[in-house]
Amino acid sequence: MTTVTRLHRANHCNHFRAYRLRGIDPAQVDPFLAVDHAWISAPTFPPHPHAGFSAVSYLFLDSETGISNRDSLGNSNLILPGGLHWTVAGRGVVHEEVPAAVGKTVHMLQIFINLPRDLQSAEPFTMSLSPQDITVVQLPGIRIRVPLGGFGESRSPLLPPTEVSLLDISLDDGAELSVPVAAGQSAFVMPIFGTLMIDGQRFDCNELRLPILPAQAEARTVKLLATQGNAKAALFAGTPLRQPVYWQGHMALSSADALANAISSYQRGEFGTLHCPAEHIWI
């Protein structure tokens, strides 16, 4: 297990705070690109473009309100607490997410997931799961929501273009759970609240570090133990795509030429538009 210390805090205008997993070597968390564990209580980010990857929003059940989501594909929907929305940006899309009730706090994960190279130029589309459609596994002292992928015989009904798992794990004080990680998959754990022993190492939700398990040829397990009261963690796993990643702004593609083409397409208006004040320029 590798411990990464590049998780950092971010604050914007007192309406947005987050622990952000960004800026590390993408190979360490492939096929994930970035994760924000965020609290948002007012509009923070104006409409912005994505291309080349998927932007996934998952709201924890303790969110005080939902997220109003809209995009340049014409979608306008409400992501409820406990729900998930997956935007496959592909060749390019503009979208915006704001709290449905200003002054109430959304507690969420914003997850950027890479797309296989051949899908990075495909037409964008979206998928959603309502809270009641998310699979739940109940064990003694443990509750596991399965927004993506699977746990044991239980699987999410969503079939995304990049196969990944996201487990929202709640543990009572003293509860212990072993989570299988398939051969060839990488995994990492983000403590959400409380204190956890993860594979024998102590991690606290306020620390700027988290455990990463690089892909291995053999299957293994990740052991989680709540040691000082109740705790919650998000476990991420997926098979690495092993593609180059070229970032700029809110776009990430597998070559410098593809990135330059996506930027040019956005500037020509080919991603579509949302109403946005002229002073908001993202690229």
Domain holding 164: CATH number? 2.60.120.10
Q: Is the pLDDT of residue 283 over 80?
A: no
DSSP label of 149: S
**More confident site: 46 or 261:** 261
pLDDT, tens digit, 9 for 90 and up, residues 118-133: 999 999 999 999 999 9
Q: Is the pLDDT of residue 6 over 80?
A: no
Give the model's pLDDT for residue 282.
39
Do the beta carbons of residue 185 and residue 238 sit within 8 Å?
A: yes
Cα separation, 230 vs 13, whole angstroms: 31
How many domains are there within the chain? Answer: 1
Is residue 229 included in any domain, yes or no?
yes
pLDDT, tens digit, 9 for 90 and up, residues 51-89: 999 999 999 999 999 999 999 999 999 999 999 999 999
Is residue 132 included in any domain, yes or no?
yes
27's tokens: 């190979």
Is residue 261 included in any domain, yes or no?
no
How buried is 118 (Cβ within 10 angstroms: 0-12 exposed, 13-18 middle, 19+ buried)? exposed
Q: What percent of the chain has pLDDT over 70?
A: 95
SS3 26: helix
Is residue 108 included in any domain, yes or no?
yes
Q: φ, ψ for residue 266 (rounded to 5)?
A: -65, -45
Is residue 8 included in any domain, yes or no?
yes
Is residue 179 included in any domain, yes or no?
yes
Band the pLDDT of 1: cuts 50, 70, 90.
confident
Give the model's pLDDT for residue 12.
65
Beta-strand ranges (E) seen in 200-245 are 201-204, 210-213, 220-226, 231-238
Q: What angle do CA 238, 239, 241 make, to 5 degrees?
A: 120
Distances (CA, A) of 47 to 43, 76, 224, 251, 272: 10, 13, 38, 14, 11
Distances (CA, A) of 2 to 6, 187, 201, 214: 12, 10, 11, 8
- Greatest Cα-to-Cα distance within the chain, rounded to the nearest angstrom: 56
Distances (CA, A) of 199 to 134, 223, 226: 27, 5, 12
Mean pLDDT to the nearest integer, 232-244: 96
**More confident site: 249 or 35:** 35
Long-range contacts of 147-150 (CB under 8 A, 24+ apart): 147/58, 147/84, 148/56, 148/84, 149/237, 149/238
Element (H, E) at 129: strand 125-129
For residue 190, list its beta bridge partners.
234
**More confident site: 5 or 90:** 90
Task: Name the residue range of residue 108's domain.
Answer: 2-238
Q: Is the pLDDT of residue 207 over 90?
A: no
Is residue 116 included in any domain, yes or no?
yes
Is residue 13 included in any domain, yes or no?
yes
Please give the mean pLDDT across all residues of the chain: 91
Give the model's pLDDT for residue 221.
94
